Amino acid sequence: MSKKRKKIVCFGGGGGMPKLILEPLKDLDLDLVAITSMVDNGGSTGALRKEFNVLPAGDIRRHLLALSEAEEWKKKLWNFRFAKNIEISPEHFGHNFANVFISGLEYLLGDFEKALEITHEFLKVKGKAMPVTLDKVQIIAELEDGSLVEGEDEIDLGQNHNRNLKIKRAYLNPGGKTYKKAIEEIETADFIIIGPGDLYSSLIACFLTEGIKEVMKKTSAKKIFICPAMNKLGETQGYSVKDFAEKIEEYMGISLDFVIFNNNISADERIEKFKEEMKKEFVLDLPKINYGLDENKFIGADLLLDEGEIKYDKNKIFKVLKRIVNF
């Protein structure tokens, strides 16, 4: 009798999780599913969403590419950007081919699921990439002074609100129901990996749809959270590793089984250089490491690249995951 393949469901958005988690795991004999929020409203994605009333393709296109086994020319085309010198919204330039491809298919077919099916075939996707909802949702962050910040782009990088204020809570308005197929994948998962990524605009955004808490409580999957490498002004200033874990648990509705975090705190000079060279004015510092953490749940390791930018090393993360999941 052949051994049952492990099913791993990954949650996240942006560029971190696809490169750090999906790309390495794709090469293994796994049933791999990537689920993203549908709150992206900036740049090329936001412009297409506004003009054609389509679902945002910005995050899911990265998942599709990370899981792709297509020819190299298709992968390069997927990342190709038209009109690089034309500013379509503040500090966002040109349209990404993948955004146009997915949004154009949805607009012409009137069916995002069909567009996604065609895209999987075009990119020869190994596994599945899917949205957490098919509803047109918008994320709202309520700050500690009661003011509201609307939209993922403004929460993420916007300067039209006081970024020194902490986020009190996040919710969707309008809201949406959790995608039925995403529920089915979560219910039958062996492991769920959350992150890494920006806490509110990327990760928590995945756990705001109606029904998501119920299925997260129902599934028997082991839940693994990868703590972000750095704190970010406007989202997580002053956060500790425990703070990150507790916020994920609050919005997920159930406790995590494992929290993977970076314990290499000797990168202060590199942080300052990174912030200066990359003009990362919103990047702050490394999350604080709490004393007395349960070592069976909180797994610390040196996860950073050995030099250069303050980013995670996918090989180091893979080694930690391998011990937990037993690939």
CA atoms of 157 and 310, how far apart (whole Å) = 19
| Start-to-end C-alpha separation, the chain | 19
Q: Is the pLDDT of residue 280 over 60?
A: no
pLDDT, tens digit, for every residue of 59-84? 999 999 999 999 999 999 999 988 76
Write down the pTM of the prediction.
Answer: 0.94
pLDDT tens digits along 174-197: 999 999 999 999 999 999 999 999
| 84-100 mean pLDDT | 74
Would the pLDDT of 15 be above 50?
yes
Q: What is the mean pLDDT of the chain?
A: 91
pLDDT of residue 310: 84
Question: What are the sequence ranges of the domains in the chain?
Answer: 1-37+178-322, 39-131
User: Domain 1-37+178-322's class?
Assistant: alpha beta
Mention every residue, 6+ apart, whose C-beta is less than 8 A from residue 202. 12, 13, 14, 16, 17, 37, 59, 195
Residue 127 CB coordination number (10 Å): 22
> Taking Cα atoms as reference points, which of 270, 245, 269, 247 lies closest to residue 258?
245
Q: What is the pLDDT of residues 110-133, one digit of tens each?
A: 999 999 999 999 999 999 999 999
Determine contact, residues 195/12, Cβ cutoff 8 Å: yes
User: Over 70: is that where the pLDDT of 50 sits?
Assistant: yes
Q: CB under 8 Å to 82, separation ≥6 — which residues?
A: 94, 95, 96, 97, 100
